[in-house]
A and B are shown apart, each in its own frame.
Chain A
Amino acid sequence: MSINRNLIQNFPFHLVEISPWPLLVSFTLLNMAIGGVMYMHGYPYGGAILSLGFALTASAMALWFKDIVAEATYLGCHTTQVQKGLTIGVVLFIISEVFAFLSVFWAFFHSSLSPAIEIGGVWPPQGITALDPFAIPLLNTILLLSSGAFVTYGHHALIQGNREGAILGTLLTIVLAVIFTCLQYYEYSEAAFTFSDSVYGSAFYASTGLHGFHVIIGTIFIAVAFIRLINYHLTNSHHQGFEAAILYWHMVDVIWLFLFIAVYYWGG
């Protein structure tokens, strides 16, 4: 068990080893994309290829992230300098997600600020009953804001070295996130209008649907951090994955606030 002298480096950066996962993920994504197109256009086996592509993409991503966890937690590759670089990367990624949401918000405001005469010149269009913003959407707002408070508690408890507090805070964050998703599913099922009900339906479900998708991703992100927390991967001063998950979750929360004000309240 000797350390090979050629592994010693006099620089703080992480030169990653050759890995098959990026190429595999790109192929599984292509698989999922082709399956999606086939399914929506009615080609045979489209649904099967889409499901297969999704399962393979999730597995390939898991294998890639598993390697990152090994490099970070067990191999010590994530020096302070590497952590700084990763933080910049996470922030840039979140900014890119914000731009994605900007596009759906643009679409919403384009159609709603000056409603076309074909839909009655009003927003919501004639014949559409919008959802009451001060019912379930309000509860969802309180749920997301509370989940942000709980995750802040968990994060600072981790920095303090308080294991019970960190676990409790993070667990309750996940619980509230799941309740949010269930309530949104209920709203989607009970709404009087569908995705195909004029540009209102398109704008509403595209924006809230994209947001809901990100809520699910964010919940999984925090859940992974939670599992790592339980398994003693995180220290009080080094928990980049957890911090990235928290930043992502705050982004999701802020976007919901914009959605609530613009799409639910003003647009209702």
Chain B
Amino acid sequence: MSMIARRAALRALPRARGYANTTADLMTTNWADKQAALRSHAAETAALWRRISFFFCLPAIAVTALWVHKVETEHAEHQEHIRAEHGGELPETPNYEYLNKRSSGPYPWGMNSLFFNPKVNKDLTKTDE
């Protein structure tokens, strides 16, 4: 094809008008219809997840919470039993060298861990090192 003919052929191609939508384009893309379909589908999906959330998840949380309450109460009673057997305190954790490691020295806030609980953790401020 000659250069002029090739140029003419290229110019004859329909060109998109940048990123704007022509009316003709809108007719082919059915944007308005698609938006309406999107909203109605979202309505169904929202209703589904609303039912799942309120009628399945919330009862599941309630049931699990009751179960956990039962387990934790049993655990607390067992702990009390051990305390009673051991003379008021929990048996001390053995002095294994890999437990309560302080090889870099004390923490900036002291010898005990950040979430230190005197009931269940060994108090290192009282131990002779």
Contacts and interface: CB of A to CB of B under 8 A. Distances in A.
Interface of A: 10, 12, 39-40, 42, 46-47, 79, 81, 118-119, 125-128, 132, 134-136, 138-139, 142-143, 145-146, 149-150, 152-153, 156-157, 159-162, 165, 169, 172, 176, 188-192, 194-199, 236-237
A157 B53 CA distance: 13
Given A40-B108, A152-B49, A153-B50, A125 B57 contact: no
A40 B109 CA distance: 9
Contacts of B46: 153, 156-157, 159-160, 162, 165
Contacts, number: 125
B113 interface: yes
A81 B19 CA distance: 10
A224 B58 CA distance: 24
Interface in B98-120: 98-102, 108, 113-117, 120
Contacts of B27: none
B60 interface: yes
A196 B52 CA distance: 42
Interface in B29-66: 35, 38-39, 42-43, 45-46, 49-50, 52-53, 56-58, 60-61, 64-65
Closest 4 CB pairs of A and B: A146-B57, A159-B42, A156-B46, A153-B49
B102 A196 contact: yes
A127 to B, nearest CB: 5
A159 B53 contact: no
A39 B108 contact: yes
Nearest to A149: B53
A194 B52 contact: no
Contact of A118 (B49, B53, B98, B102): B98
A170 to B, nearest CB: 12
Number of contact residues on B: which range applies? Answer: 35 or more
Given A146-B58, A157-B46, A196-B99, 15 more contacts: A12-B19, A47-B108, A81-B19, A125-B98, A138-B68, A142-B60, A142-B61, A150-B57, A152-B49, A157-B50, A159-B42, A160-B42, A176-B61, A191-B120, A197-B101
A149 B120 contact: no
Contact of A236 (B39, B58, B75, B114): B39
Best-buried of B35, B65, B98 by chain A (most CB within 10 Å): B98
Interface in B53-102: 53, 56-58, 60-61, 64-65, 67-68, 71-72, 75, 93-94, 96, 98-102
B50 A169 contact: yes
B75 A132 contact: yes
Nearest to A179: B61
A44 to B, nearest CB: 11
Contacts of A150: 49, 53, 57
Nearest to A142: B64
24 contacts: A10-B18, A12-B19, A47-B108, A79-B19, A127-B93, A127-B94, A128-B99, A134-B71, A139-B68, A146-B57, A146-B58, A149-B53, A149-B57, A150-B57, A156-B43, A156-B45, A156-B49, A162-B43, A194-B115, A195-B113, A197-B98, A197-B99, A199-B98, A237-B35
A191 B115 contact: yes
A194 B108 contact: no
B61 A143 contact: yes
Contacts of B56: 149
B35 A156 contact: no
B35 to A, nearest CB: 7
B61 to A, nearest CB: 5
Contacts of A237: 35, 38
B53 A146 contact: yes
